[in-house]
């Protein structure tokens, strides 16, 4: 097993010493406020007004995707602060994964010299003081990533060369490659079993979505699938080489228990996320341990995705919006 201390990338915070039962109790109360029926939010021009009372997303009052994301980060930061040292160590890899998006958004704003926006985003971030300073003070995105690469290399040599990826593939390619690299590194470390299963499912989802997109191309393509998922990369390569979409449909039917055409990217993505949701719901039934906490973190993330979708789909037909939402 590789070693990877995710906490080195996160804010240093004094251990509050709360027992795990305390956090589990707080989470049980907050779970009662999750959205059970999305219909009122879909039909309303102001979705936040129809969120359940005390729902954490009501705090921001901003239905923009950026506002939704910052409010989600604030909720995650609250959870991190309530965790004792042991739980922070367990969940560190999850919080770093979430903060990759913060990093990418900051880099895009840094490229446009929107430093005030970078500072605003980082005010809700759990990234370490050192990384926040790099993102705030660097001359451009390349200078920022050079400094962050040095930090990441100290945790795993597999992150060597990420600055070159940014130069060659641009920000979009860099985001894709760094996320792949992080998932492949973290799944090879000594994770809690529930976290390991979760990250393996994320790898499966990213690999399958990549395969579905590649099968739409008119010309054959080669793709380095992320290692470490439950679906063997060799099986995905076989489907890509044969270009037989029916093989992917059968694979997805066995994986998700649902019948649909994998060419429908929206349905495919939603179905893959439902697999993760069902798995975490099962893990969350335990009154103790990591499962209930991870399920809460995931459900917060799914609700944020749905609220962001509502931002982009205002004015669209209800059935089309419903098809986009992740249940």
- The dihedral over CA atoms of 300, 305, 308, 310, expressed in degrees to the nearest 10, equals -100
Residue with tokens 């979409």, as numbered in its chain: 245
How confident is the model over 79-87, as a mean pLDDT? Answer: 96
pTM as predicted: 0.93
Q: Do 25 and 292 form a contact (C-beta atoms < 8 A)?
A: no
As a whole number of angstroms, the distance between CA 218 and CA 234 comes to 22
**Angle value at C-alpha 295, between 291 and 296, nearest 5 degrees:** 120
Q: What are phi and psi of 10, to 5 degrees?
A: -115, 165
Q: Do 51 and 155 form a contact (C-beta atoms < 8 A)?
A: no
More reliable by pLDDT, 311 or 200: 200
As a whole number of angstroms, the distance between CA 153 and CA 238 comes to 33
Domain ranges (residues) in the chain: 60-186, 191-327
Q: What are phi and psi of 127, to 5 degrees?
A: -60, 150
As a whole number of angstroms, the distance between CA 170 and CA 162 comes to 11
pLDDT per position as a tens digit, 174-186: 999 999 999 999 9
pLDDT per position as a tens digit, 115-134: 999 999 999 999 999 999 99
As a whole number of angstroms, the distance between CA 107 and CA 52 comes to 34
pLDDT at 64 over 80: no
As a whole number of angstroms, the distance between CA 133 and CA 236 comes to 41
How confident is the model over 180-196, as a mean pLDDT? Answer: 94
Residue with tokens 């895009």, as numbered in its chain: 108
Q: Do 301 and 276 form a contact (C-beta atoms < 8 A)?
A: no
pLDDT at 61: 58
From first CA to last CA, the distance across the chain in angstroms is 35
Exposure pattern of 234-245 as b/e (b: 16+ CB <10 Å)? eebeebbeeeeb
Q: Which two tokens stand for residue 54?
A: 């005390």
Q: Do 192 and 110 form a contact (C-beta atoms < 8 A)?
A: no
pLDDT at 47 over 70: yes
pLDDT at 63 over 70: no
């Amino acid at each position: 097993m590789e070693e990877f201390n995710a906490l080195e990338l996160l804010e240093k915070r004094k251990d509050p010493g709360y027992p795990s039962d305390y956090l589990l109790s707080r989470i049980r109360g907050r779970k009662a406020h999750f959205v059970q029926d999305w219909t009122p939010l879909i039909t309303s021009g102001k979705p936040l007004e129809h969120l359940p009372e005390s729902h954490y997303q009501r705090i921001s009052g901003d239905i923009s995707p950026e506002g939704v994301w910052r409010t989600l980060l604030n909720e995650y930061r609250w959870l991190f602060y309530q965790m004792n040292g042991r739980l922070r160590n367990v969940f560190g890899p999850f919080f770093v994964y979430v903060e990759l998006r913060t990093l990418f958004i900051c880099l895009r704003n840094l490229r446009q010299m929107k430093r005030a926006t970078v500072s605003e985003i980082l005010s809700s971030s759990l990234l370490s003081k050192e990384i926040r300073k790099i993102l705030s003070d660097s001359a451009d995105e390349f200078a920022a990533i050079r400094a962050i690469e040095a930090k990441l290399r100290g945790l795993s040599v597999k992150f060597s060369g990420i600055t070159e990826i940014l130069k060659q593939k641009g920000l979009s390619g860099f985001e894709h490659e760094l996320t792949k690299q992080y998932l492949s590194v973290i799944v090879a470390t000594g994770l809690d079993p529930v976290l390991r299963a979760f990250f393996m499912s994320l790898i499966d989802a990213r690999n399958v979505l990549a395969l579905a997109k590649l099968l739409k191309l008119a010309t054959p393509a080669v793709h380095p699938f992320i290692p470490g998922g439950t679906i063997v990369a060799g099986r995905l390569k076989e489907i890509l080489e044969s270009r037989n979409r029916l093989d992917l449909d059968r694979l997805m039917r066995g994986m998700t228990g649902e019948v649909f055409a994998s060419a429908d990217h929206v349905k495919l993505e939603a179905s893959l996320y439902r697999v993760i949701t069902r798995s975490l719901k099962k893990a969350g039934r335990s009154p103790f341990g990591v499962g209930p906490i991870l399920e809460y973190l995931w459900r917060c993330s799914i609700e944020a995705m749905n609220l962001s979708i509502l931002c982009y789909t205002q004015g669209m037909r209800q059935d089309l919006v419903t098809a986009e939402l992740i249940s």
